[in-house]
């Protein structure tokens, strides 16, 4: 656990803001809800993505139709990386959003 609590919160806040911006700019008919560190993305088809911070583990968690994923922040690459597959958050989101909402969005930089 190399991240301080403050840095962890800053990173998650920045990531969630970037996600909100990407979804807002997409033109998709979606609902975004952000409350108590949880960002919920509701697609027109009823499926959801839920991003939540797990402070004790210093992880960002993602719940999707295809499962739950846990991300650790990699200081070297400055990216959130899945703790199982080592896939970057942005890469995984491109695949998951395509599967769930049948749209292609660019999550470059996440």
User: pLDDT digit of tens for each residue in the chain (110 aa)?
Assistant: 578 999 999 999 999 999 999 999 998 899 999 998 899 999 999 999 999 999 999 999 999 999 999 999 999 999 999 999 999 999 999 999 999 999 999 998 88
> What pLDDT sits at residue 109?
81
Distance CA 101, CA 6 (A): 34
80 located within any domain: yes
pLDDT score recorded for residue 2: 76
How far is the C-alpha of 60 from the C-alpha of 53, rounded, in Å? 5
Provide CB contacts within 8 A for 4, sequence distance 6+: none
Whether 109 is covered by a domain: the verdict is no
pLDDT given for residue 48 in this prediction:
97
Of 60, 55, 67, 65, give the one whose Cα is nearest residue 88: 60
Tally of structural domains, the chain: 1
Report how far apart, in Å, the C-alpha atoms of 98 and of each of 10, 47, 57, 104 are. 28, 12, 29, 6
Per the domain annotation, does 66 fall within a domain? yes
Distance CA 24, CA 90 (A): 16
pLDDT of residue 100: 95
Distance, CA of 101 to CA of 85 (rounded, Å): 22
- Print the domain residue range for 86: 5-101
Write the CATH number for 35: 3.30.920.10
pLDDT at 108: 87
């Amino acid at each position: 656990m190399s991240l301080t609590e403050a840095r962890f919160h800053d990173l998650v806040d920045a990531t969630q803001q970037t996600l909100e911006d990407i979804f807002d700019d997409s033109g998709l008919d979606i609902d975004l809800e952000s409350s108590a560190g949880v960002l919920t993305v509701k697609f027109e088809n009823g499926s959801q993505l839920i991003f939540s911070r797990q402070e004790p583990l210093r992880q960002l968690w993602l719940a999707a139709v295809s499962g739950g994923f846990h991300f650790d922040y990699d200081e070297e690459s400055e990216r959130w990386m899945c703790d199982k597959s080592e896939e970057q958050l942005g890469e995984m989101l491109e695949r998951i959003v395509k599967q769930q909402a049948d749209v292609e969005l660019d999550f470059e930089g996440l």
